Structure 1
């Protein structure tokens, strides 16, 4: 199956599911971005994802712009290809409908606080009693095993907890968030891979299990990949930050007419750059990566002075010829008109009730079971009738 290009005609209906998760049914009680991002990828990969929303809907329906009320951009993107079910789980009949769906499911995933999901009667033990081999994924802010269990968490607060504003402050002189909801998305990827691992275990053994994924722990692990640095050792050899990453001079280089991103870093790149450009400050004190790493701020400053001497395009031509990593600075709007992304058919245009939507496509490639955008995001409660009808025969049989 080939990827569609961004210029392909919109398709009204998705093709039969043929991704690597074809045949997997997911009951999705997540909201906002953390959980929905994980289940969006499951849907792209062929899973049947049934998104269960309360009568007021997922908050992301309302927080960003969309063509009609209740279909904001974030919601439409992270809930694409799912079937929409509106249930009021405060009502006995709707809770019973959910139980019957759980009996048919492979995965149950939620992002409610532990106390809230227990109160509704859908904690792991209750769900396991309905479907013993289910993979049950809980998406929390903080682990239930710690003192912050049930503490509310959002991307901004988790960024603060895991040190992002701190290291931004080391770089910029003032603490600040990064300009993307990194904690939500990183935690969502953790929820995805953890759920897939549990499904793999079930495939081999028949055993289901509960999986807990938390934003704080996921982001702490993510941040400490490089920022643990010498603080991992006993006694510590450095503070817990990676000095190159927080160096104030680490930024796109200003050129004569704009900016360019470049990393003249390892010895091969460095020697090629010095030979081609012959900067006046080149000397033995910068001749090895080890020497440069000890004074990386000074190195970045000197490179910054040199980059001011040519235009952006001149630098891109020079650096590309030397095989030194470089790139122009692009806006997020420019991603929608990018030659590389167009060439690989990254964007997929899908017809929706609100008109065609150009979705960022699946970023991974499979030779035998490729994923793709399976269709639009659901309107609130759009698939209630057909989803509930799929368990109606069992309901009728049990009532006899």
Structure 2
């Protein structure tokens, strides 16, 4: 049943940030109703696919949900949403608040219908600054929060984005925590509230928590930046036949490394002997490690370091990680049967609970897969539903089209 069993979430989000957050709420047991526009979530079109509209990005961010298509620009579509919200616990949206106001679904309107509702917006910027109405995407926020600059410092000098929708996923995770905290507050007080989770502020805090450095102080002690993170040789180390991921961090690990690698000569070097010495000379230290790791194969280093209890991991590819022995043993990538897409590789919920097991209750839905069933739950008759389909407020269910 999951720890959020009994919680009803109306998901008015698309693309990645919002759907990732609501998928997690669904995995945790909430009843998530995904409200899509008639053309569907745009990530349905990101391939490769077995069938159009069911691409991998969509499949991996929309499980554990029921789906209904609605044209919210039509009064009848908006009326369906209002009925959904009457007994909902959470509404999550990721358009700008100004767009919700234009749909006449702003918090001031919705709270009158359901004062216990958690009204959660995940969007670009806080609403009390000059960027309030600006559009935002993951790439823009990576740049604005300093990540592209940091990639340039730690790389070849060229600013780059992290090759992952890092912002969307971090802000989505932040939203899950904020929503759950708001549900606790509501249980204590009986009152819902509006909740804004802005991308720019969230990611600026995330990045600068590591890299504020001397800018923490007034006046500043330096120009900021965490030197270890920015060292050119902080990367997977090249070995005699591949690469390996290693971090030798505390004094105990370094003592073990001196012995395991045969480099006991470094023990007496003040630049290597203490944590403070290494921190002050981190570029030199990492460069020397890079030279040392070239002297043995990946397998030799892995065995040697594991015996010495020094943190070591393989450098996986997107394919090899599927065969990682730990992930295989924990069945992290189970192959499940999708009703229309056949066997697909899923991913387990990473958190575990001793009392309330969280398991994805259903695979990602087809467009409007549950539309007619949801409308019937809300009290709409067969004639009402037929009229909505005729007027383009919703679409026919997939079964009716086949």
Q: What root-mean-square deviation, in Å, do the aligned CA atoms of Structure 1 and Structure 2 show?
A: 1.5
Displacement after TM superposition at 1:127 (Å): 0.9
Distance 2:148 2:380 in 1: 54
After TM superposition, the score normalised by the length of structure 1 is 0.92
Aligned 8 A contact 1:348 1:373 in 2? no
User: How many Å separate the matches in 2 of 1:68 and 1:280?
Assistant: 60
Look up the match of 1:79: 62
2:357 aligned to 370, 379, 387, which one? 370
Residue number in structure 2 paired with 1:11: none
Q: Which residue of 1 aligns with 2:118?
A: 135
In 1, the alpha carbon distance for the partners of 2:312 and 2:320 equals 17
Deviations 1:74-102 (A, max 9, x none): 11111001000100001111111111110
Aligned equivalents of 2:47, 2:174: Cα separation in 1: 25
Match of 1:356 among 331, 335, 343: 343
Taking the TM superposition and a 5 Å limit, the aligned residue runs for 1:329-348 are: 329-348=315-334
Contact 1:29 1:53 in 2 (8 A): yes
**1:349, distance to aligned residue in structure 2 (A):** 3.1
Query: What aligned pairs does 1:223-262 form with structure 2 within 5 A after superposition?
Result: 223-262=207-246
Specify every segment of 5 or more residues in structure 2 that has no aligned partner in the other structure, as ranges: 384-402
How much has 1:56 moved relative to structure 2? 1.1
Q: 2:96 corresponds to which residue?
A: 113
Q: How far off is 1:235 after superposition?
A: 1.4
Paired with 2:334 and 2:107, the residues of 1 have a C-alpha distance of 37
CA distance in 2, matches of 1:267, 1:237: 27
2:83 maps to which residue?
Answer: 100
2:390 is the alignment partner of 1:390: no
Q: Deviations over 1:44-65 (max 9, x none)?
A: 0110000000111111111232
Q: Distance in 2 between matches of 1:335 and 1:150?
A: 40
Q: Sort the Cα spacing of 1:393 and 1:71 in 2 relative to 1 into closer, same or farther, 3 A.
A: closer
Q: How far 1:281 moved relative to its partner?
A: 5.3
For residue 43 of structure 2, the aligned residue among 43, 54, 60 is 60
Aligned-residue offset at 1:345: 2.3
Q: Secondary structure at the match of 1:96?
A: helix
Select the residue among 172, 175, 183 that pairs with 1:188: 172
Q: C-alpha distance in 2, partners of 1:128/1:263?
A: 51
Whether the 8 Å contact between 2:149 and 2:160 is mirrored in structure 1 is yes
* Residue in structure 2 matched with residue 199 of structure 1 by the alignment: 183
Deviation track 1:96-152 (CA, whole Å, cap 9, x = no partner) reads: 111111002000110111111101011111111111110000111111111001211
Partner Cα separation in structure 1 for residue 328 and residue 365 of structure 2 = 27
Comparing 38-47 and 227-236, the one that deviates more: 227-236
Alignment partner of 1:221: what SS? Answer: helix
Residue 294 of structure 1 corresponds to 280
The answer to whether the Cα contact below 8 Å between 1:281 and 1:302 also exists between their aligned partners in 2 is: no
Aligned partner (choices 321, 326, 330) of residue 312 of structure 2: 326
Q: How does 1:273-292 map to 2 (within 5 A)?
A: 273-279=257-263, 282=266, 283-285=268-270, 286-292=272-278
Alpha-carbon distance in structure 2 between the residues aligned to 1:347 and 1:204: 38
CA deviation after TM superposition for structure 1 residue 320, in Å: 0.6
Higher RCO (CA < 8 A, seq sep 6+) = 1
The DSSP-based 3-state class of the residue aligned with 1:68 is coil
CA distance in structure 2 between the aligned counterparts of 1:349 and 1:367, rounded to whole angstroms = 24
